[in-house]
Every structure is written in structure tokens, then in C-alpha cells.
Amino acid sequence: MNRPRRHATEPDPEQAPDVRRRWRPRLPVGELRGEFLVAESAVIAAERLLPSYRGPDGDHEGIVFLLGRETPSATIITTVLAPEADHGWGRVICDEEQFAAATTTAHAHGLGILGQLHTHGSAWTEHSIGDDTLIVMPFDGTLSLIAPWYGRVGLRPLHSLGVHQYQDGQWVLIHTNSVRDHMRLLPSHIDLR
């Protein structure tokens, strides 16, 4: 029987690893520390930018840095920045020079780099071993978000992403319910008419 032809950018579940298998997270699992407010406009921009990491061989992993400000009551993510990066179908890496250029750009706009969001080519959204070590200069509270399927299926709701936070010198995979409770999307507009 012939299967209907799939759009080239649509994930093919038959090609994905079996995500239904039992697995135990490699990282400790915990609660998100702090409150996070994410501008909807930043999410929309990330949804547009992440799939643009491509090459002649097709889709590649992509990355955006999460820019914003920390306040006493919440961390506010306002902007995403797509850096120069070495990317391929199974990797996306920013070296220290590329990270420095992104930091300089963020600071020029009065913002700091508060984390990163990168993609994986399957449904799996936990940190790979490389993700643990290749993130430049993590600080306590840094976020690392992972979107499945090269970001082509969207980033909402935010609790559908793999959310990790650097806590006490190590990366922690955050419970979905904790993300739902402590990371909120700020609407780009509100119309009460």
C-alpha cells in the first residue's frame, strides 16, 4: 500500500526513534527556580529563525539565544538572537567568538543572554551529552530549551519543550508541570473590544 507523500519539512514519525520506549532521564529532574515571562513576539521570531538553519543536505539543528532582563520578581525574555554557528543535521555549536559577538550585540540593546533554545531532529528533547558541555559560560538559573523536529512543529505550548536549568553547578531537566506553572507567555497584544 502506498503512503501519501509527506511534505518535505514535516517530520516522519516512522523515521523517528521509538520515543514510546521506557527511558530514564540522564540528568536529575527538578523544579524550575524562579518565574519566567517570555514575550510571544520572541517565540514567534524563534519559530521563524530555527528552521532557517539548513544546508544542501537538508534540515540542520538550529539555535537562538534568549535575551532579556532579570528583575527581583521574574526573568523576562524579550528577544531571540540567531547567532553564527557551526551546524549540521546532528549538531549546532557556537564557539566562544560567536558567543562573544552575540553578547556584545545583546548588551548594545540593554539585554543579557539568559539562555538558549536549540533544536533536535527527532521528538527527543532531553540534553545530549554535548549539550551539557558545549553551552558557553552557564550561570545559575541559565535556561536551555530544546525543540523537537528542528523547530518545524512550533514552540507552543512552552511546556512541550525540553526545559533545562543550570542549578548548583549542573543541568537539571525541569518537570513539565513546573514549566507550566513558572514559565508564562506574554501576549504580544491584548484587545478587550
83: three-class secondary structure by DSSP: coil
For residues 46 and 83, the answer to whether their CB atoms sit within 8 Å is no
Letter for the amino acid at 171? Answer: W
Q: What pLDDT does residue 23 have?
A: 52
Q: How far is Cα 16 from Cα 1, in angstroms, rounded to an integer?
A: 21
User: Domains along the chain?
Assistant: 25-186 (3.40.140.10)
Q: What is the pLDDT along the chain (193 residues), one digit of tens a residue?
A: 433 333 334 444 444 444 433 455 789 999 999 999 999 999 999 999 999 999 899 999 999 999 999 999 999 999 999 999 989 888 898 988 999 999 999 999 999 999 999 999 999 999 987 787 777 778 999 999 999 999 999 999 999 999 999 999 999 999 999 999 999 999 999 999 9
188: three-class secondary structure by DSSP: coil
For residues 165 and 58, the answer to whether their CB atoms sit within 8 Å is no
185: nearest Cα among 82, 42, 47, 62: 42
Q: What pLDDT does residue 128 have?
A: 85
Q: Which residues contact 183 (CB under 8 A, 6 or more apart)?
A: 32, 35, 36, 38, 158, 159, 163
Helix (H) or strand (E) holding 173, with range, is: strand 170-174
Q: What pLDDT does residue 118 have?
A: 95
Q: What pLDDT does residue 11 have?
A: 43
pTM of the model: 0.85
Q: What pLDDT does residue 135 have?
A: 78
The sign of the CA dihedral 90, 170, 140, 31 is: positive
Cell 540542520, residue? 60
Quick one: DSSP state of residue 128?
P
Cell of 140: 545559575
Q: What pLDDT does residue 88 have?
A: 86
DSSP per position, 139-163: -TT-EEEEESGGGTT---SGGGSEE
Q: What pLDDT does residue 21 have?
A: 39
174: nearest Cα among 142, 149, 151, 152: 142
Cell of 193: 473590544
183: three-class secondary structure by DSSP: strand
